[in-house]
Amino acid sequence: MANNDFFAIAIDGPSGAGKSTMAKMLAKDLAITYLDTGAMYRAAAVYATRNNIDVNNSAEVIPLLDSLDIGIDYKDGHQTVSLGSDDVTLTIREPWVSMKASDISKIPEVRTKLVDLQRKIASGKNVVMDGRDIGTCVLPDAQVKIYLTASSDARADRRYKELIEKGDKVTYDEVLADIIRRDNNDMNRAVSPLRQAEDAVLLDTSNLNIAQSVQAIKNIVREKIGLCKIEN
């Protein structure tokens, strides 16, 4: 296998398709590193906002990148994210961050910095990474590439339930509008837009529950990297 026998699993797709649920499950099953790359763009957006910088203004964002210090760690198997010494793992999940993360991710210099960091974290180990450009840009040689998607209604429904469970005060219509706006932003930006890599397997989970989606993902991984790595 390429990369000195290490393997990489790339999961891309629009927001709310279940990428992180699937990636976490695979990481646990295979005992490999999981990297949620969206968390980094979220952290960059939080950093800019804390510095009173408009995430759409690249002339303001670019000089800030020198001091952007994103730390990725793992506590009890969960990824934590910090800005300098400040743990922002929970802050980056607040609903206001989503659109700002999508906006800041359009700036090429931001992507260059974060993609470098993502490749560093992935090097020399087995990894499952999720995001928008993993199969097309970050890890083009990944042994397994999955493009995970679902209808916007199905994704909004799942995201709405998740946020309500967490106690966030949102309406279904707000969540759906956010998903549609972010799809549009992420799919139409100039640099590394969200798209299915030519060699990615498409999995549409609109009509699958979590257990069925997990099974479908495991089947794809088993087929690509061999039976011994994954059970059932």
Residue ranges in contact with ligand DC by CB under 6 A: 15, 37-38, 41-42, 98, 101-102, 105, 131-134, 182, 186
Least spacing, CB of residue 177 vs ligand DC, in Å? 14
Least spacing, CB of residue 5 vs ligand DC, in Å? 25
Q: Of the two residues 15 and 205, which places its CB atom closer to ligand DC in the complex?
A: 15
60 class by beta-carbon count within 10 Å (0-12 exposed, 13-18 middle, 19+ buried): middle
**C-alpha span between 83 and 44 (Å, rounded):** 9
Least spacing, CB of residue 226 vs ligand DC, in Å? 27
Q: Please name which of 209, 180, 182 lies closest in space to residue 18, comparing C-alpha atoms.
A: 209
Residue bearing tokens 């450009």 = 133
144-149 and 8-12: which strand pairing?
parallel
Least spacing, CB of residue 164 vs ligand DC, in Å? 18
Least spacing, CB of residue 227 vs ligand DC, in Å? 30
Secondary structure class of 1 (helix, strand, coil): coil
Least spacing, CB of residue 126 vs ligand DC, in Å? 19
φ, ψ (nearest 5 deg) of residue 206: -50, -40
Q: Of the two residues 87 and 162, which places its CB atom closer to ligand DC in the complex?
A: 162
Q: Of the two residues 120 and 223, which places its CB atom closer to ligand DC in the complex?
A: 120
Q: Of the two residues 131 and 201, which places its CB atom closer to ligand DC in the complex?
A: 131
Q: Of the two residues 21 and 102, which places its CB atom closer to ligand DC in the complex?
A: 102
Helix locations, the chain, DSSP H: 19-30, 38-50, 58-64, 95-104, 108-122, 152-166, 172-188, 210-225
**C-alpha span between 3 and 226 (Å, rounded):** 17
44 class by beta-carbon count within 10 Å (0-12 exposed, 13-18 middle, 19+ buried): buried
Q: Of the two residues 88 and 101, which places its CB atom closer to ligand DC in the complex?
A: 101
DSSP structural state of residue 134:
I
